[in-house]
Amino acid sequence: MSLRIFAQRSKRFTPLLAAPAALLLNQGQAKAVLTYNIFESAGNVVVQTSGSLNLTGATPNGISGCSANGAIRSDLAVVCSGPSNILPQYGILGPASFNGTVVIVPASSVSGITASFFAAVNGFVIDSTYVSNTPIVSSATFNGTTLAKLGFTTTGLIGTWTLNGTSESIQVILGAPTAATAAPLPLLGAGAAFGWSRRLRKRIAAPLITPPQA
C-alpha cells in the first residue's frame, strides 16, 4: 500500500479516535462540590472543609460572617470554618436546619481560609481572595466534645445546598473525609485515549520504507 493511500484511509479513523477521548473528558467535567466533614478525632470534634467552587454566575446579596473563629449551630444549619470575617454573602438554597438544638462557639482552633455557611438565612461566605476552581482548605476544631453533645445522632450526608446562579453544590457530611484518589478515573481514561491516538498518529505521519523491488 502506498503512503498516500494509507494516509487517506487513516483520516477516516481520526473522528473515531477523538470521540472516545472527548466522551471521557466530558465525564470528568463534573460540577464542583464543597464538602464540610464533621467528625470526632482524639476526643474532639473537627470540621474539615475541602473541595472547590466555581463562583461564576454567583452574585453577592449582602455581607455576613461568624462572630467568632469557628462555630456550629445544628438548629440553624450553621458551620463556620477558618477565621472570623465579615465578607460578601452569596445566596444558597437547601435545608434550614440540621434538626439539632446545640450551639457551640467559638472553636478551640481554626486553620485555612474563611469558608462558612448559614443555611437559616440562605447565605455562604468565602475568603475574598478565593479564586474560582482552586482548592478550598479550611478547618475548625472543638476540643473536648462529641457529635452526640452537638445533637447529632446519625452519620452520613445530612444536607446539600446549591449556590445560587450556578450548578455548584455545598454538602455537609457527618463522618471523616475519605482518602482522595490521585485522579478521577474518567481523566485517567482520557489520558490513555489521547496517548494511544497520539502514538497512532505518529505512525501514520512516519514515512513508510518500501522494500527494494526485484
Q: Which residue has the higher pLDDT, 32 or 81?
A: 81
Q: Is residue 213 part of a domain?
A: no
- Decide if pLDDT at 104 tops 80: yes
Q: How many domains are contained in the chain?
A: 2
pLDDT of residue 171: 97
Residue 54 burial (C-beta neighbours within 10 Å; 0-12, 13-18, 19+):
middle
pLDDT, tens only, 163-179: 999 999 999 999 999 87
Q: Domain range for residue 168?
A: 33-174
User: In whole angstroms, what is the distance from residue 186 CA to residue 21 CA?
Assistant: 9
Report the pLDDT value the prediction gives residue 34, as an integer from 0 to 100: 97
Q: Answer yes or no: do 43 and 143 share one domain.
A: yes
Q: Is residue 210 part of a domain?
A: no
110-158 residue pLDDT tens: 999 999 999 989 999 999 999 999 999 999 999 999 998 888 888 899 9
Sequence-ordered strand ranges (E) for 65-213: 71-73, 78-81, 87-93, 103-104, 109-112, 115-118, 123-126, 136-142, 156-163, 169-174
Q: Are 72 and 158 in contact (CB under 8 A)?
A: no
The cell for 89 is: 454573602
Residues 189 and 90 in one domain: no
Q: What is the pLDDT of residue 43?
A: 95
211 part of a folded domain: no
